[in-house]
Amino acid sequence: MQCSPETLNKITVLLVADFEEQMKIRTSSCVEMEQGLQEALQSIGRESLGQLFTLKDEHNQTVQEACSCGQTAQRISRREGKILSVFGWISYRRSYYGCEHCHRCWYALDEQENLRAGSVSAVMSRLLGIAGVTVSFEEAQRHIQEYLRVDVSVNTIRAETQRIGQRQAEREKQWVAESQDLSYLQKRERASARPQRLYGSLYGAFVPLEEGWKEEKTICWYEAGTRYGSSELRAVHLNYYTSLEEASVFGELVWATGLHHGVDQAAEPIFVCDAATWIWKIVEHYFPNAVQIVDWYHACQRLHAVAETLPEPERLAWLDPIKAALWEGEVQEVIQILQETLNEHPSCELIQSAITYYENNQTRMAYAHFRKQGYFIGSGTVESACKQIVSLRLKRPGARWTNQGATAVAKARAAWLSRQWDALPLVA
């Protein structure tokens, strides 16, 4: 809905004339004029929105309303309500109904529009959520005051951010239920095909909870594409989902979100992950035919860690050839070099751990073959998401979360990073 050009022109003429009369234009600074106009427009917004809500009720009001008990309720009166909008607190009047049979009373407009009198409007809720998933709630309070010139409590920002995360959790819960419904899965068989290659990357990072540290697990579904003028693959169309649940429960979310993004219809599902055991158990259980790749960067980290234990003059001479062997997927050669190094440094547990790591993941490190097939071999995408979700938001200095709070904020932030904000129900 937009104002007509004629209306906007009239408002502009009136505002400019009023400002010219009240302010000394010659001596007033541009900053003073801009701030003054912002305050004036907010006042107009508050008054106009309140009147529009009231008018909506007037247009829709009836003497009688059907009650949920099946009887007819009578309109008792019209009463004032207040709600925090993007313009600040607005007042509006709406019809109040009462049922003599079940004694239920309600405001029809509030129920029809999901308004929460005394709380926050749907539009304001989403803005508070964006602030709440971006910075700490205390910082978000200052940002909202600076951007909108509206005072909001820290607790309100926390509550609205968590409400959005809970709505994302409800969507995911529905997907999980559908993923276990045989009739739903059969209908999917007739659906149109999805991407030829769909990638999944799983990762975990620890969150500070009140009862101790707990792992926040993340799945990222994405495709691989190239930038204009470059042949290098990069992750595109990224979608993140998180959970503090155990790996077995998280696996259900991985499967459900995978179905949502068409992993079952993709010609090649490909997983590029760290070598954590719980990750590959999930992949093998739900996606037994998927291509499995240990992320190249994680595979290299083990070699760099071993190199750090060697005398400095030997490091580069040792590291370059073993990385070259790994790049070509010659994992047996990598293991052999590590074994020779262990013979020279028998007390180094790090080298023995690396040998076990490469022995357990040989088939997932056929990098020359993977590159030939055109596969994306780096999962920095999901690890970066873990840093953005956990490190930058949940692990801020002094942070200690409840399980429920951490879950809701992580899910809300994941939805924001995935550009899924608009897919969440707009509910006040």
Average of per-residue pLDDT across 138-157: 96
314 residue type, one letter = E
SS3 197: strand
Please give the Cα distance from 341 to 311 (Å, whole number). 12
pLDDT at 190 over 70: no
pLDDT at 25 over 80: no
Share of the chain above pLDDT 90, in %: 72
Query: Mind listing the pLDDT tens digit for each residue in 340-381?
Result: 999 988 888 999 999 999 999 999 999 999 999 999 998 666
User: For 263-277, 279-293, 347-361, 369-383, which range has the lowest pLDDT when averaged over its residues?
Assistant: 369-383
Residues 60, 108 contacting (CB under 8 angstroms):
yes
pLDDT at 33: 87
Residues 414, 389 contacting (CB under 8 angstroms):
yes
Reported as type and span, the H/E element at residue 224 is strand 212-226
* Residue 316 DSSP one-character state: H
Q: Model confidence at 336, in pLDDT bands (50, 70, 90)? A: very high
pLDDT at 427 over 60: no
pLDDT at 412: 96
pLDDT at 192: 62
The strand pairing partners of 81, in sequence order, are: 92
Please give the Cα distance from 150 to 3 (Å, whole number). 24
Query: Mind listing the pLDDT tens digit for each residue in 149-160?
Result: 999 999 999 999
User: For 101-110, 191-200, 272-281, 317-326, which range has the lowest pLDDT when averaged over its residues?
Assistant: 191-200
The strand pairing partners of 208, in sequence order, are: 213
pLDDT at 332: 96
pLDDT at 76 over 60: yes
pLDDT at 295: 92
Query: Mind listing the pLDDT tens digit for each residue in 401-418?
Result: 999 999 999 999 999 999
Average of per-residue pLDDT across 196-220: 93
SS3 288: coil
Write 306-310 long-range contacts (CB < 8 A, 24+): 306/338, 306/341, 306/348, 306/350, 306/351, 306/354, 309/345, 309/348, 309/350, 309/351, 310/341, 310/345
pLDDT at 225: 83
pLDDT at 180: 93
